[in-house]
């Protein structure tokens, strides 16, 4: 069955946002957002689809999402838009977690990340927010098509460059981005003690990359 690639907005089927939340949890199980649970992630992503500073392209097979990529022209603006609108949904999942000092600190690190990185490293505000392909679809070129669609989306928004932040241990992602023409910029710690690699990318330099 063929896969089509389409931009999403808030009027997309709730099932697609649920698929996005489930893929996120399956592919990034140890991240902070995954710990919030599928219903909360589903609501968060639906709100993001309505944010002027964010956009998503989904890989759809028979109207079910098998991969997605989110871009942001200004991540701080995305936070400002989504957090007030998701406050009620986030309250209960966060309640038990923020009572633990380590989790409270992780929340604070996540919220302060966009502005501190843009200012201290002179990085573009635009970036990839999230990029996942369902496990059984990996290696079929879905990731490459999604990345190309993201670059086209940034070009339409007149964004000259964007940043990509990925865990230092994610060597497969490093190879993918470097093959596409991304240039390593620096190493940061979004969360204390956890190294991440920062790449810079200009959409106009998109190269053909191997299937992902």
pLDDT tens for each residue of 12-42: 999 999 999 999 999 988 777 777 788 889 9
Q: How many CB atoms lie within 10 A of CB 203?
A: 22
Strand-pair partners of 98: none
Average pLDDT for 90-103: 55
Domain membership of residue 201 (yes or no) is no
149 vs 1, which has greater pLDDT? 149
Domain membership of residue 23 (yes or no) is yes
Q: What is the pLDDT of residues 135-194, one digit of tens each?
A: 999 999 999 999 999 999 999 999 999 999 988 888 999 999 999 999 998 877 655 667
* Distance, CA of 46 to CA of 18 (rounded, Å): 9
Of 159, 171, 179, residue with least CA distance to 197: 171
Domain membership of residue 22 (yes or no) is yes
pLDDT on residue 105 = 45
Domain membership of residue 212 (yes or no) is no
Of the chain, the percentage scoring pLDDT greater than 90 comes to: 53
Domain membership of residue 178 (yes or no) is no
- For 11, 21, 43, 47, 95, the CA distances from 90, given in Å and listed in that order, are 21, 14, 9, 12, 8
pLDDT-derived band at 104, boundaries 50, 70, 90: very low
Q: How many CB atoms lie within 10 A of CB 74?
A: 20
Domain membership of residue 80 (yes or no) is yes
Total number of domains in the chain: 1
Domain membership of residue 49 (yes or no) is yes
Strand-pair partners of 130: 70
Of 18, 53, 39, 26, residue with least CA distance to 129: 53
Domain membership of residue 141 (yes or no) is yes
Q: What 3-state class would DSSP assign to 64?
A: strand
**Global pTM value:** 0.83
Full domain range(s) for residue 36: 4-159
Q: What is the pLDDT of residues 42-53, one digit of tens each?
A: 999 999 999 999
CATH code where residue 69 lies: 3.40.630.30
């Amino acid at each position: 069955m063929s896969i089509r690639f389409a931009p999403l907005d808030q009027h997309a089927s709730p099932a697609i946002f649920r698929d996005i939340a489930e893929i996120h949890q399956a592919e990034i199980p140890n991240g902070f957002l995954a710990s919030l649970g599928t219903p909360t992630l589903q609501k968060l992503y639906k709100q993001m689809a309505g944010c002027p500073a964010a956009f998503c392209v989904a890989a759809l097979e028979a109207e079910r999402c098998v991969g997605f990529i989110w871009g942001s022209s200004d991540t701080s603006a995305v936070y400002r838009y989504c957090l007030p609108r998701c406050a009620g949904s986030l309250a209960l999942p966060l309640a038990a977690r923020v009572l633990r000092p380590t989790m409270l600190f992780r929340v604070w690190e996540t919220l302060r990340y966009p502005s501190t990185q843009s200012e201290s490293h002179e990085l573009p505000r635009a970036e990839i927010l999230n990029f996942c392909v369902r496990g059984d679809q990996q290696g079929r070129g879905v990731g490459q098509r999604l990345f190309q669609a993201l670059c086209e989306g940034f070009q339409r928004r007149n964004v000259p460059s964007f940043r990509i932040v990925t865990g230092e241990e994610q060597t497969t992602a490093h190879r993918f981005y470097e093959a596409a023409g991304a240039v390593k910029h620096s190493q940061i710690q979004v969360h204390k003690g956890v190294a991440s690699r920062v790449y810079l990318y200009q959409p106009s330099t998109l190269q053909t990359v191997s299937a992902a």
